Chain A
Amino acid sequence: MRFLTAELLAQLIDAHAAALELFAAQWSQSPADVVQEAFVELARQPQRPQNVAAWLYRVVRHRAYDEHRADVRRRRHEAAAAAKNDRWFRAATQGQLDAHDASAALQGLPEKLREVLLARIWGGLTFEQIGEITQTSAATAFRRHQEALALLRTRLGIPCLDQKKTSTT
């Protein structure tokens, strides 16, 4: 490996693999394969990308898109769509949101909003990086993120903080 040592690769897998799989699962039926291919592609790079995480998200997005476009896999996607909802999160023991409901609400979001939200919350990317990946401006990415949060709050029935305070008092 040129810049990518075995240790660095192991660290990257630990840090990003799960979130990348979630990101790829928006389009792909085999997100683990897509993420693995992205890591292999990273090992082929002669130089270290400026931001490895953003690079990985971009590659995963492209590959997952390509896979999604394939007719054969699209048929499989349709067949497995029903059983897909609870695949994104583990059942939360301490969180306030139900994993199944959250998965369903996220999957019900428009694709452009959902990819920004996933990259932002679980990928930890900045809006500039998300803008590069989605080929939009940072402002557009931020606006989509806000829109996605508003939709999720409505669909998941999350009360506003003010309402919460008044209800508790």
Chain B
Amino acid sequence: MSGSKENFDDVNDLSDDERHVEQLLAALPLRESRINRDETMFQAGRASASAAQHSRAPRLRRWKMAAGTICAAAAGLLAGILISAPQQRADVLPPPTGSVREKAAESPLPIASEPADRNGEVAVGESPSLLDLRLGMLRRAGDELWLAQIDSWAPAESSSAGGPSERRRPIPATYGSFAGRLLEAEEHQ
């Protein structure tokens, strides 16, 4: 073979005797190959085609996974936007029109009574910004929940009608009390 002859030239470490033995051996003619050439070509072509097909399948799977990930991320982002959107939209809603008391009278829902013991109420807090936010929400909402909160203030007002000392009693910072303040403000106007 030509390759073996080239290698013989490259090797300088072999002695002359060893090279001689190599050349004698290399002169021995190999038996002709018994592999079926046509069948080998056919099998190789088929193997190559199937390997190419197999290599395409994982690529397609990778694309599908990437697309699925992107879709899931987009859906999550959209859900996050939708969840946060109602708070923003409340800011742009027009303020409720008409008297709050009229709305309370028109409401068909039963009026919830506030517990007699006001010490058991949960204070909203004293942070001005938080209070303003709550007040703004009450002013804008105008729904039944808001009216129910008004009612929780109403008994306190009726009970305070007995004496001026009770009327001036400081009202804890509850939703009902804020609604009461709102009503008072409207009445003054």
Using a CB–CB cutoff of 8 Å, the interface residues on chain A facing chain B are: 1-2, 4, 6, 9-10, 13, 15, 17-19, 21-22, 31-33, 35-36, 39-46, 53, 87-90, 92, 94-97, 99, 102, 117, 120-126, 142, 146, 149-150, 152-153, 158, 160-161
Main DSSP-derived SS at the A contact region: helix
- Pair B24/A95 contact, Cβ less than 8 Å: yes
| Bound Cα distance from A39 to B48, whole angstroms | 11
Residues in B with CB closer than 8 Å to A33 are 35
Report if A46-B30 is in contact (Cβ < 8 Å); known contacts: A36-B39, A122-B4, A124-B7.
Answer: no
Residues in A with CB closer than 8 Å to B45 are 1, 6, 43
Residues in B with CB closer than 8 Å to A158 are 20-21, 24
Main DSSP-derived SS at the B contact region: helix
A15 CB to closest chain B CB (Å) equals 8
- Pair A4/B31 contact, Cβ less than 8 Å: no
Number of interface residues of B (CB under 8 A): 42
Report if A102-B7 is in contact (Cβ < 8 Å); known contacts: A9-B41, A18-B30.
Answer: no
Residues in A with CB closer than 8 Å to B37 are 10, 13
Chain A CB within 10 Å, residue with most, of B1, B36, B39, B44:
B44
- Pair B17/A17 contact, Cβ less than 8 Å: no
